[in-house]
Amino acid sequence: MRATLKRCVGLIVVSGLLMFALFHTWSPGSSSEVDIGPRKWSAINTLLHGKIQGIAKGYQDIPYHIKPDVARGVAQNTCVCLADKETVHLPFSNLLWPRAWAHDISLAFLESHPDPEGVKRLRAQEYSSFQRRSYDPADELIITEAQSPLQYPTQGVKVRPLKTIIIPGLGLKEEKRSNHTVSLTATLGTFDVAATVDRVSLKGAGEKHIVLSSPLLSALNRQLQFVTYTNTVFHPKTADTIQFATGSHQAFFNIKVGHGTIPRLYNFGHQQEYNISALVTIATKTFLRYDKLKELIDSIRQFYPTVTIVIADDNEHPQPVTGPHIEHYIMPFGKGWFAGRNLAVSQVTTKYVLWADDDFIFTANTKLEMMVDILEKTTLDMVGGAVREVTGYTATYRHTISVEEGGEEGDCLHIRQGYHHVIEGFPNCVVADAVINFFMGRTDKMQEVGFNPRLARQGHLEFFIDALGSLHIGSCSDIIVSHASKIKLPWTKTDIQKAYDKFRYTNSNSDQKLHTEIYYFKNRFKCMTSH
């Protein structure tokens, strides 16, 4: 009887482990004075929005029928976070069919805040300021009405700040009449012509409003081919909304104003094979684990003897870490996890930086060349690998992240296990929004996003949330780094190991409040859902 019981318990444990492994290996695809303050609402913007509203109000007497399956997918600016309901009541069912949980960030942050209404007002002010700073007229909705006699560019017209261009594509298509007239109006620049055409009259050359007219439509259209636009208000990145009109017809298009993007090129030589030492720097952060750090360095040197290793160290009593191609930077004691990442990555001068924890171990499967290859051949900014534990289990930690608009109270953050799609040409690689703590990225792009130094002890997804919309991220399951064993019996732990555990695994109320504050105030979320 006792033997039978043991076999049953063993079978249950083994089954549970198998289902756990199955769950974690399966990934669903799933002028002299210039106003440089926030752009003010102009008469053209008012006219534009009134025009759009007028179009939207048309045909109201015609009935319509809603298609529920389509309408449900239309953004309503009223997001809510709801946890999935449990539909299957079986042991380990959540492992096979994970349910999304929901967390009310607004409630969690505001209920313990001494001035909840004040902080809500401050957040709203900060968000309003952010919207004004980041407002881009090029994002304005412009509708070109059908059958308009005006011909004009709808996208792709650019001018450098304070420079001049010929506006391409201007034209007028209408029936013959005694006189044909068009006008253009700008806010941030002036109009002129690069050449004149006989029998065409111009009024307003060199001004923000110009009128061109002619009794000959062909002459007017020829003149329109020489119309120039000169930007007169300096701004490194904005757009001017141009009004193009004739008679009762009006049209709008944008001229983007801005400097071109300055390339950041890396001279690493011309070689048939990737020169990893010239292309990649390995960055890590260490704290109370010099033994693990030595193992990491030794394993790296076995395969990449000349790759630079940058180490950020916030130990209270730092020990020297020396050797060829090693840069050791000392930080204030206990400065923290993300601050260390910022320091290490800030010192990288190569095209790519590989992040590795100080308790990782390189093996023959830790192919940095493969990471470089996919970054060189795709539009990805970052690619993650896989981490193999001492148990043999290999994790990739792939997640998708999305933000749903939620109105005045904030937006909703949704995190799900899985990825978007497989990458063509790289069958073991997929596109995701968050990857495991072993990744290689374009140095300049990672520096642009940065790591929040307030996250001293714990943090990972926070970086990828900040990177959403900035970084294009992939994950490859066949690029593997090993993880040093964390299995230690309590009575075998050294004082240093106990001290590390105390710092690393603290789960204080202040840490929880910090994460909630970051999500609520910094990222302006009101709730989140996640597996």
Arithmetic mean of pLDDT, 436-463? 93
In whole angstroms, give the CA distance from residue 164 to residue 191: 9
In a domain, 43, yes or no: no
Residue 243 pLDDT class (50, 70, 90 cuts): very high
Residues 180 and 307 in one domain: no
Task: Please identify which residue in the block is written with the tokens 């199955």.
Answer: 22
Domain boundary residue, one of 229, 258, 287: 258
Cα Rg of the chain (Å, integer)? 30
Each residue's pLDDT tens digit, 271-303: 678 899 999 999 999 998 899 999 999 999 999
Task: Please identify which residue in the block is written with the tokens 């997804």.
Answer: 461
Contacts of 510 (CB under 8 A, 6+ apart): none
Residues 303 and 447 in one domain: yes
Residues 245 and 280 in one domain: no
In a domain, 268, yes or no: no
In whole angstroms, give the CA distance from residue 480 to residue 371: 11
In a domain, 3, yes or no: no
Query: In this predicted structure, which of 48-57, 303-312, 454-463, 464-473 has the lowest mean pLDDT?
Result: 48-57
In whole angstroms, give the CA distance from residue 98 to residue 473: 24
The per-residue pLDDT for 487 is: 61
Residues 474 and 419 in one domain: yes
The Cα-based distances of 98 to 95, 145, 461 in angstroms read 6, 48, 19
The DSSP output letter for 363 is -
Domain containing residue 211: CATH number: 2.60.40
In a domain, 332, yes or no: yes
Query: In this predicted structure, which of 81-95, 98-112, 293-307, 400-414 has the lowest mean pLDDT?
Result: 81-95
In whole angstroms, give the CA distance from residue 181 to residue 166: 19
In whole angstroms, give the CA distance from residue 524 to residue 408: 10
Residue type at position 528:
M
In a domain, 178, yes or no: yes
Residue 488 pLDDT class (50, 70, 90 cuts): low
CA angle 155, 219, 175 (to 5 degrees): 80
Share of the chain above pLDDT 70, in %: 80
Domain boundary residue, one of 225, 258, 291: 258
Domain that holds residue 173: 139-258
Residues 297 and 337 in one domain: yes
**Closest to 26 (Cα-Cα) out of 366, 423, 371, 396:** 396
Q: Could you tell me the pTM of the whole model?
A: 0.82
Would you list the DSSP string of 60-123?
TTS-----HHHHTTS--S-----PPPP---STTHHHHSPPPEEEEHHHHHHTT-S-HHHHHHHH
In a domain, 437, yes or no: yes
Residues 337 and 484 in one domain: yes
Domain containing residue 301: CATH number: 3.90.550.10
In whole angstroms, give the CA distance from residue 198 to residue 522: 60
In a domain, 23, yes or no: no
In a domain, 117, yes or no: no
Query: In this predicted structure, which of 261-265, 318-322, 469-473 has the lowest mean pLDDT?
Result: 261-265
The per-residue pLDDT for 285 is: 95
Arithmetic mean of pLDDT, 143-171? 88
Residues 326 and 355 in one domain: yes
CB 465 within 8 A of CB 376: no
Residues 249 and 296 in one domain: no
Arithmetic mean of pLDDT, 179-206? 95
Tokens of 156: 């792709």
In whole angstroms, give the CA distance from residue 451 to residue 440: 15
Residues 356 and 469 in one domain: yes
Q: Which runs of E-coded beta strand occur in 153-262?
A: 158-159, 164-166, 171-172, 180-185, 189-193, 201-203, 209-214, 227-231, 237-246, 249-258
Residues 434 and 290 in one domain: yes
Residues 234 and 294 in one domain: no
Residues 225 and 290 in one domain: no
Tokens of 59: 């045909």
Alpha helix stretches (DSSP H) within 308-357? 337-346
Span between the terminal Cα atoms of the chain, in Å: 40
Domain boundary residue, one of 230, 258, 286: 258
Task: Please identify which residue in the block is written with the tokens 């004149």.
Answer: 196
Number of domains into which the chain is organized? 2
In whole angstroms, give the CA distance from residue 319 to residue 313: 9
Q: How far is CA 228 from the centre of its chain?
A: 36
